[in-house]
Amino acid sequence: MPLASIPSPSQGVWYLGFVPIRAYALCIVLGVIFAVWLSERRWRARGGQAGTIIDISVPAVIFGLIGGRLYHVITDWQTYFGDRAIKKPYQALFIWEGGLGIWGAVALGGVGVWLACRRRGLSLSAVADTVAPGIIFAQAIGRWGNWFNQELYGGPTTLPWGLEIDQLHGGEPGVLYHPTFLYESIWDVLLGFALLWAGKRFALHHGRLFALYVAGYTLGRFWIEGLRIDPVGGVDHAVTLLGLRLNQWTSIVVFIGALVYFWLTRNKDSEEFILPADVRAAAASGPDPAHGVDQADSVGDADTASEATAEAGEADKAPDDTPDPEVVRADAPAAAVVAEDVAPKEEPASEKSAAEEPAAEEPVREELVREDDAREDDATPKQEETPEAVQQEKNSR
């Protein structure tokens, strides 16, 4: 007997009244919630609108569940159809009983994401790169549902982390099996952190980070799949081709496709749209007329706000042309000088009334002219009278 082992749960279903709570479905839901949470944070950090990933996740999850179940039923059709079927055909719809193919989930789930991105005018490649780490972490969480269902286990082993499988699920007494679900979960977690690091370190865009996720997952899935002994594609055996299981061949094909895509897009640097088409159109047409000049648009461009802030900073740095009150009136109190400079200057009452009153009558005007002439005569200096001048004046008379 081995000294250590991993026991399998005694049950994978609990009942809340008459409502069954299945561990497999619960693990899938927890994985989806974590993936959406992480992807939403990454999308906002990239400059996208809040709530975008949550909206996109709805069709993605629906299409992904359908695609994952279809792949499982197609590749393991003899379990539900034919003379050797061990389940009823309608049980092919019972997703909560287990059986989701990751290949179908990613493929058809991608269709749901594409439709949502197309409706909003977003770049599919940008969304794919954003959600890639979240998907692999969701797979790591979801794999624990296989532990509760006692499925996806490997061949016999004597390792201390061997997995116990009861006879109802194909195990033999006293025999331990490779916990391939655990291997894949650990691999997925490590790959998830590697994607986070690579995306930040190398700025992988245009679907290259998603391609790296696909290549990394299929690489691990290939050797883990080789340890499994559970029947896939048949009732009592797995479908093989040239000594490899069906999922191994799928991993090879998808791995090569991911590497080819990664290489072909190595120099791609075109713009990726992370804001909806209507928001981009509104930003291109200028500020909203319904808003005030100093009122920020709720969906305005961040660059415009940055430019406005920079202009405000330059205005603060501009020299002030207002004369210093201390220089103008050094002998006056500071408060009085400031009040005198700030208060508007008023014209004297006499000048103001003279400007506002209508023109005077003609006699008054002539009198003013005579007074002016008199003042001018008074201002002219008189010459000193001499005897010659007096005699000359008498002769002229």
Counting other chains too, the contacts that 21-27 makes at CB distance below 8 Å and 24 or more residues apart are 22/96, 22/97, 23/144, 23/145, 23/148, 23/149, 24/96, 24/97, 24/98, 24/145, 24/146, 24/148, 24/149, 25/95, 25/96, 25/145, 26/145, 27/141, 27/142, 27/143, 27/144, 27/145, 27/148
Contact 10, 168 (CB under 8 A): no
Phi and psi for 176 in degrees, rounded to 5?
-105, 155
Whole-number pLDDT of residue 132: 97
Whole-number pLDDT of residue 377: 52
* Tokens at 104, concatenated: 């179908």
pLDDT, average across residues 113-134 = 95
Dihedral over alpha carbons 160, 136, 33, 65 (to 10 degrees): -100
179 or 328: which leads in pLDDT: 179
Look at the pTM and tell me if it is higher than 0.75: no
317 or 187: which leads in pLDDT: 187
Of 18-27, 39-48, 91-100, 291-300, which has the strongest mean pLDDT?
Answer: 39-48
Asked if residue 239 has pLDDT above 90, the reply is no
End-to-end CA distance of the chain: 164
* Range name among 26-30, 130-134, 393-397 with the lowest pLDDT average: 393-397
Cβ-based burial of 327 (10 A; exposed 0-12, middle 13-18, buried ≥19): exposed
Asked if residue 21 has pLDDT above 50, the reply is yes
Cα distances from 99 to residues 96, 138, 170, 188, 354, in angstroms, run: 8, 16, 16, 19, 102
pLDDT, average across residues 359-375 = 52
Of 158-162, 189-193, 365-369, which has the strongest mean pLDDT?
Answer: 189-193
Whole-number pLDDT of residue 183: 96
371 or 191: which leads in pLDDT: 191
Cα distances from 51 to residues 56, 57, 79, 112, 274, in angstroms, run: 9, 10, 41, 17, 12
* Tokens at 280, concatenated: 């981009």
Residue type, 387: P
Helices 246-264 & 208-225 angle (0-180, nearest 10): 160
